[in-house]
């Protein structure tokens, strides 16, 4: 900020995640800035562009970073949106920090490095403790998910949730407030958690406080199966990726698929509908579930060609051949020989070209029936071979 003419004379602090992560030695991705003692009119006059819908936030004229006016919040309704926001030059830095969720997120750093830490966030960082700022924690049900997500991020560093904060999370789960969270916000937090180093900690924390019963009841019908599923989150195939963003998306989608692969189709569909799941997540979970079912069938008895053909049809391998390699990689985690035979069977069946059948005179339904018959026969030859 030094030498920034747009900020000269303003009382500006870096707050939240950047302050926390710098002290943890964690990568700092974004900076959040709070301006104390300024008005909307002054920020606009300095060339900042207002962008906040619910409270005054402005984009810096050059860097385009966000600068928010210090504000307070007062609960007036249900859910995470039921707040009245008050932002004015009279709101102090401590007032702004007091409305935050966790103490480690309620620290502010001035331009000269001076730290403002009214709720002992540094002590909680040292103790590796996620602790709420105040009893007002229970006014925002989204904080249950955020706390669980921070645990998923820092569990590997030894962090835990403070007992009194866990009690407030249980209070929120029992109050009915979680039901007022819109699906998009629940999924946003969940998707972020799937990308954290310890995603299982997110679901375990939600289960421990009763939130999972409310938000994703399909997962807790069988807690033993859930425990096994959480262990699977770290056993993933290695799908090809074209870049860092694709790799991160693949990671999150595969973790979600592995979490759900044991569920019945109806439960997966209900969960997808409740969370308004992106199609890519729902599709991969469906494919992984079919692959799991085929593996379990193979463990019970030798696979029939019709089962393999049904699996290939089910994952749409004929039209979407890029789906096959990741599913074979998934199979290879537990059944590498089965994966090898299925790859061979697919290649044999894929060699039967519809164009050749057209040249033989097959058309319409007869073409589809003959293609399926010959594919089935080629699969059977592979399965019957050495």
SS (H, E, C) 336-347: HHHHHHHHHHHH
With the CA atoms of 315, 317, 322 and 326 taken in that order, what torsion angle do they form, in degrees rounded to the nearest 10? 50
Percent of the chain surpassing pLDDT 90: 85
The CATH number given to whatever domain includes residue 91 is: 3.30.460.10
pLDDT score at 75: 57
Number of other CB atoms surrounding residue 171 within 10 Å: 16
Q: Is 43 domain-assigned?
A: yes
pLDDT score at 79: 47
Distance CA 99, CA 74 (A): 9
Q: Is 112 domain-assigned?
A: yes
CA distances for 156 relative to 73, 184, 264, 355, angstroms:
33, 28, 32, 55
Distance CA 310, CA 363 (A): 22
- What is the Cα 276 distance to its own chain's centre? 13
**Mean pLDDT in the chain?**
92
pLDDT score at 175: 93
- Ranking 79-88, 218-227, 243-252 by mean pLDDT, the lowest is 79-88
- The label of the residue with tokens 């692959």 reads 291
> Buried b vs exposed e over 34-49: b needs ≥16 C-beta within 10 Å?
bbbbbebeebeebebe
Of the two residues 269 and 73, the one the predictor is more confident about is 269
pLDDT score at 3: 66
pLDDT digits (tens, 9 = 90+) for 302-333: 999 999 999 999 999 999 999 999 999 999 99
Q: Residue 154: CB partners within 8 Å, gap ≥ 6? A: 24, 128, 130
Distance CA 96, CA 87 (A): 9
Distance CA 151, CA 160 (A): 7
Helix (H, G, I), strand (E, B) or coil at 176: coil
pLDDT score at 385: 80
Q: Is 105 domain-assigned?
A: yes
- Domain containing 75: what range? 1-120
Residue 276 zone, left/alpha/beta (φ > 0; ψ -120 to 50; rest):
left
Q: Is 86 domain-assigned?
A: yes
pLDDT band with cut points at 50, 70 and 90 for residue 177: very high
Is residue 31 predicted with pLDDT exceeding 80?
yes
pLDDT band with cut points at 50, 70 and 90 for residue 239: low
Q: Is 367 domain-assigned?
A: no
Q: Do 176 and 215 touch, CB atoms closer than 8 A?
A: no
Q: Do 116 and 11 touch, CB atoms closer than 8 A?
A: no
pLDDT digits (tens, 9 = 90+) for 179-215: 999 999 999 999 999 999 999 999 999 999 999 999 9
Average pLDDT over residues 158-164: 98
Q: Do 129 and 98 touch, CB atoms closer than 8 A?
A: no
End-to-end CA distance of the chain: 71
Distance CA 61, CA 248 (A): 31
Q: Token digits for 41?
A: 């009119």
DSSP 48: P
pLDDT score at 382: 95
Q: Residue 35: CB partners within 8 Å, gap ≥ 6? A: 10, 11, 12, 43, 67, 68, 69, 70
Q: Is 28 domain-assigned?
A: yes
Is residue 33 predicted with pLDDT exceeding 50?
yes
Q: How many domains does the chain have?
A: 1
pLDDT score at 235: 95
pLDDT score at 26: 93
pLDDT score at 30: 86
pLDDT score at 289: 97
Q: Is 266 domain-assigned?
A: no
Distance CA 139, CA 143 (A): 9
Q: Is 163 domain-assigned?
A: no
Average pLDDT over residues 73-77: 63
């Amino acid at each position: 900020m030094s030498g920034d003419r747009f900020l000269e004379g303003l009382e500006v602090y870096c707050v939240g995640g950047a302050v926390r992560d710098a002290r943890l030695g964690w990568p700092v991705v974004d900076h959040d800035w709070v301006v104390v003692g300024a008005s909307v009119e002054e920020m606009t006059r300095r060339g900042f562009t207002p962008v906040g819908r619910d409270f005054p936030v402005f984009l810096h004229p050059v860097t385009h970073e966000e600068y928010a006016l210090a504000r307070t919040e007062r609960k007036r309704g249900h859910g995470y949106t039921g707040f009245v926001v008050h932002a004015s030059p009279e709101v102090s830095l401590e007032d702004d920090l007091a409305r935050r969720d966790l103490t480690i997120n309620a620290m502010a750093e001035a331009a000269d490095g001076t730290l403002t830490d009214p709720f002992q966030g540094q002590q909680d960082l040292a103790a590796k403790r996620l602790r709420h700022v105040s009893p007002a924690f229970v006014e925002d049900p989204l904080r249950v998910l955020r706390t669980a997500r921070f645990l998923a991020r820092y569990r590997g560093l030894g962090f835990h949730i403070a007992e009194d904060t866990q009690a407030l999370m249980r209070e929120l789960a029992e109050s009915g407030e979680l039901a007022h969270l819109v699906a998009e916000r629940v999924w946003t937090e969940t998707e972020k958690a799937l990308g954290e180093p310890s995603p299982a900690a997110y679901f375990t924390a939600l289960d421990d406080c009763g939130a999972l019963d409310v938000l994703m009841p399909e997962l807790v019908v069988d807690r033993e199966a859930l425990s096994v599923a959480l262990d699977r989150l770290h056993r993933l195939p290695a799908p090809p990726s074209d870049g860092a963003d694709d790799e991160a998306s693949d990671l999150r989608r595969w973790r979600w698929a592995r979490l759900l692969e044991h569920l019945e189709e109806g439960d997966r569909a209900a969960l997808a509908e409740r969370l308004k799941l992106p199609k890519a997540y729902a599709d991969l979970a469906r494919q992984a579930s079919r692959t799991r079912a085929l593996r379990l069938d193979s463990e019970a008895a030798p696979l029939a060609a019709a089962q393999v053909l049904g699996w290939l049809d089910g994952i749409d391998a004929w039209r979407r051949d890029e789906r096959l390699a990741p599913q074979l990689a998934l199979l290879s985690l537990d059944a590498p020989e089965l994966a090898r035979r299925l790859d061979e069977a697919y290649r044999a069946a894929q060699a039967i070209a519809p164009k050749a059948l057209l040249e033989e005179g097959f058309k319409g339904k007869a073409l589809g029936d003959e293609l399926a018959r010959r594919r089935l026969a080629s699969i059977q030859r592979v399965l019957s071979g050495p």
